[in-house]
Amino acid sequence: MKSRLHPSKRKLTTWLETGGPVDVDDHVAQCERCAGTLEALAIPEPSVSDALAAFLAPPDDLVSRMNDRISDSLRNRADAKMFAELVGISLPTARLLLTERPLDE
């Protein structure tokens, strides 16, 4: 029996993409090693761009967090304006008085 060399990874990739050449088809049908290599080649590897896109993707809750912060800011602005009008002080002074600051220990 004639000894056959295993097809190169490039040749196996070409066979996987195009279905040819026939000699690779016959070899893969009989060779567990090459069949395993084909199986590994069929699983797409994540690309650098996919990894970068996943890394740079915004958090899932970004929109809801932004909406909450905007609502809080608008509510605080309205509260400061109302406080300033009731007490008779300027809006910047009211904002300063309503700003939470840590207590000194």
Taking only the tens place, the pLDDT of each residue in 59-96 is: 899 999 999 998 888 888 888 888 888 888 888 887 77
Identify which has the larger pLDDT, 73 or 105: 73
Taking alpha carbons only, the member of 4, 6, 3 closest to residue 33 is: 6
Q: Is the pLDDT of residue 2 over 50?
A: no
In one-letter notation, the amino acid at residue 68 is: D
| 3: confidence class by pLDDT, cuts 50, 70, 90 | very low
- Reported as a single tens digit per residue, the pLDDT across 46-61 is 777 788 888 899 989 9
What phi, psi does 21 have (nearest 5°)?
-80, 165
Pairwise CA distance, residues 80 & 91, whole Å: 7
Q: What is the mean pLDDT of residues 29-34?
A: 83
Taking alpha carbons only, the member of 6, 1, 8, 40 closest to residue 26 is: 6
Pairwise CA distance, residues 45 & 13, whole Å: 14
Q: Is the pLDDT of residue 34 over 60?
A: yes
Pairwise CA distance, residues 23 & 2, whole Å: 14
* pLDDT value of position 4: 64
Q: Is the pLDDT of residue 104 over 70?
A: no
